[in-house]
Amino acid sequence: MTIKMLNEIQVDENFETYVLIKSMDVRMTRAGKQYQAFTFQDRSSSISGNLWNTNEKTIREFIPGMVVHMTGKKELYQGMPQVNQIDLRVATGMEPNNPEDYKDKPPMSKNDLEEEINKKLFAITNANWQRIVRLLLNKYREGFFTFPAAKSNHHTFETGLAFHIVSMLRLAERIAELYPVLNRSLLYAGVILHDLGKVVELTGPVGTEYTLAGNLVGHIAIVDEEITKAVIELGIDDHKEDLLLLRHIVLAHHGLLEYGSPVRPKIMEAEVLHYIDKLDASMSMMTSALQQVAPGEKTQRIFGLDNRNFYRPKS
């Protein structure tokens, strides 16, 4: 049997391939029997699949970040592709077993991301905002430049968080040129800080899960607390308007209370930050989904985009 990439395997085809385990959850059937729910990936695509004949050995052995040899059959379940009838074994030293060869390739290098964000720091002319941003970036630098932006949905690759920030900074710069009334310093500071809480909310770039703090508190509250800690450390008056503006733009970036923001945007910069955050996340979700289908086909339904699917034009 020929080894194929995930995007080369056709529906109803039996296959053999090597893949990276991107995620694994132990779940229960309605009958109360354990099974393992996987997301597998290679450089071409990702796909879900379940291992039904699971046991304590397979739960310990097949974990996120592991490269495995897999045989199975590609099928459709409720119109969505998945792998079934799978058989797994850990790839040996004589086989292609380097996890880095299977991960999504980041659009920019870590060094380029750092360089672009550092340049924008000099454009934050408000001294208090710049001091707070620099302190928190230095405090969480390693996670900020390696973590994904989310467990699922958008920018889920290593360095995805920093790439999301860079994309938003580019959007913010162009919008500020079109609307000079905007406070560019505030917008840049808000963009850089708005998702920084995810370095505490998530576990990291491999087998990404939510931490206890992520589940119980969430990244919006986490970053607001970090801003408050920074203010105390820097000796800034926490009643000053500029500090309240910075906290507001971060707290309001989800736009709606039902989406997790404790307050809706009440200044222009907060409204703009919300829209460019939503735009960049949506583009990431659509791009990833469309890359996995052929021209003339529809994507699977995207949960983060109101469970809609999208069509890939033939030309």
110-287 shares the fold of 6-101: no
- The total of other beta-carbon atoms located within 10 Å of residue 216's CB is 9
Render pLDDT for 39-48 as a digit per residue (tens, 0 to 9).
Answer: 999 988 888 9
Is residue 210 within 8 A of residue 151, CB to CB? The reply is: yes
Q: Provide CB contacts within 8 A for 131, sequence distance 6+.
A: 230, 234, 236
Render pLDDT for 220-248 as a digit per residue (tens, 0 to 9).
Answer: 999 999 999 999 999 999 889 999 999 99
Three-state DSSP at 143 gives helix
Nearest-angstrom CA–CA distance, 240 and 237? 6
Nearest-angstrom CA–CA distance, 186 and 170? 14
Query: Which one of 1.20.1740, 1.10.287, 1.10.3210, 1.10.357 gives the CATH number of domain 110-287?
Result: 1.10.3210
Q: Which one-letter amino acid corresponds to residue 129? A: W
Render pLDDT for 184-208 as a digit per residue (tens, 0 to 9).
Answer: 999 999 999 999 999 999 999 888 8
- The total of other beta-carbon atoms located within 10 Å of residue 204's CB is 15
Three-state DSSP at 173 gives helix
- The total of other beta-carbon atoms located within 10 Å of residue 19's CB is 25
pLDDT at 1 over 70: no
Tokens of 54: 């699971």
219: confidence class by pLDDT, cuts 50, 70, 90: very high
More confident site: 294 or 52: 52
Q: Domain boundaries in the chain? A: 6-101, 110-287
Is residue 74 within 8 A of residue 83, CB to CB? The reply is: yes
pLDDT at 303 over 80: yes
Question: Tokens 């900020």 correspond to what residue?
Answer: 144
**pTM score of the predicted model:** 0.86
Q: For domain 6-101, is the CATH number 3.10.310.30? A: no
| Residue/partner pairs of 190-193 with CB below 8 Å, 24 or more apart | 190/246, 190/249, 190/250, 190/253, 190/269, 190/270, 190/273, 191/165, 191/273, 191/276, 192/117, 192/120, 192/121, 192/133, 192/137, 192/165, 193/132, 193/133, 193/136, 193/223, 193/227, 193/246, 193/250
Render pLDDT for 272-299 as a digit per residue (tens, 0 to 9).
Answer: 999 999 999 999 999 988 887 778 888 8
Q: What is the mean pLDDT of residues 255-259?
A: 89
Nearest-angstrom CA–CA distance, 95 and 274? 46
Q: Mean pLDDT, the chain, as a whole number?
A: 92
Largest CA distance in the chain: 68
- Predicted confidence at residue 152, as pLDDT, reads 83
Is residue 299 within 8 A of residue 288, CB to CB? The reply is: no
Render pLDDT for 80-136 as a digit per residue (tens, 0 to 9).
Answer: 788 999 999 999 989 999 988 888 778 899 999 999 999 999 999 999 999 999 999
Nearest-angstrom CA–CA distance, 181 and 177? 9
57: confidence class by pLDDT, cuts 50, 70, 90: very high
Render pLDDT for 59-94 as a digit per residue (tens, 0 to 9).
Answer: 999 999 899 999 999 998 877 788 999 999 999 989
Instruction: Report phi then psi at 83, rounded to 5.
Output: -100, 140
- The total of other beta-carbon atoms located within 10 Å of residue 29's CB is 10
Write b or e for each residue in 61-96: b if 16 or more Cβ atoms lie within 10 A of its Cβ, otherwise e: ebbbebbbbbebbbeeeeeebbbeebebeebeeeee
Tokens of 214: 């992520």
